[in-house]
Structure 1
Amino acid sequence: MKSVKLLTFIGVSILSVGIAHAAAQEYINVKKHCVIIKNGKVVKQQACTADGYEHAAAGYGGGFGWDFKPIKGYGAISVEGGVSLKEDSRGNIVTDHEGNSVIDKEWLDLNNKPAISRYRFPKTFKVFTTADEQKWYNGTLKDAKGKEIDPYQCYYHKKNPQYEFCHQ
């Protein structure tokens, strides 16, 4: 599922490149809402600002990154990730028996250390189940009023997580 999450996040960029074969987008001073969670409980919420980027090369992979301005008590927080696809000796993308590109490398870092990502519901901060994620990817995850859910994207370190950082 980790690959699906990361690929879904940058997939829009890769799919949108079309004939151009490459795309990049830069974001400056984007207003977001940030949350720090410890032991499953929200310990800090605040408006935050971030600079970010997304890039993709059709068929070769892509990546993203966000640099959040300092959050009191936690400092500046950065999130970065991406996927590169395996190439053969002639530089062609390697595919599996179903015609899907083979991933060579994928990474996700929180403050330059390996991280895990997941989604959480707004307001309750309940972690998405696998079924919730599938519905969200398909655009069918709705709230009680029928409005599409806008989840928090959350990250925590693979080893010795001190906190979970989320943004929306």
Structure 2
Amino acid sequence: MSSTRWMDSPIGGLRLHTSAGLLTAVEFDAEPRGTRRAETVLDDAQHQLEEYFAGERTTFDLPLANDGTEFQRKVWGELRRIPFGETVTYGEIARSLGYEPGISRAVGAANGANPLPVVVPCHRVIGANGTLTGYAGGPDRKRTLLELEQPGLF
């Protein structure tokens, strides 16, 4: 059974999706709709996201769906290893997976396909020259999330 829930956040409305007891997606630009019912995964995800946005949480402990290609799953696994408040480049992720930095575009594509932004911190990946490139939620959201984790960064 799948369920959804809307929540407000400093980066706009988010819609949380679950299926089979797993968090499957976090969508940006969500509008409030539907009724709210208790569901453990949705309750936990909303609570942990609220703690994160309040500066009280640096990691997430949620059951996550891992639907994607083998390469995407490898990249998403690396994203989960990026510590709170730190950034890495697409090339650094490629190298950490054993690839040449030239595969950074493929890393960027996998990063952009991440269905669980914020929870799987794709916002912590930046361009080789330090620019805030390639975030599905847009550069303003990326900047807000990085500033939340590193006050005074910008």
TM range (shorter): under 0.3
Structure possessing the higher radius of gyration over alpha carbons = 1
Q: Which has the higher helix share?
A: 2
> Which structure shows the bigger proportion of residues in strand conformation?
1
TM-score scaled by length of structure 2: 0.26
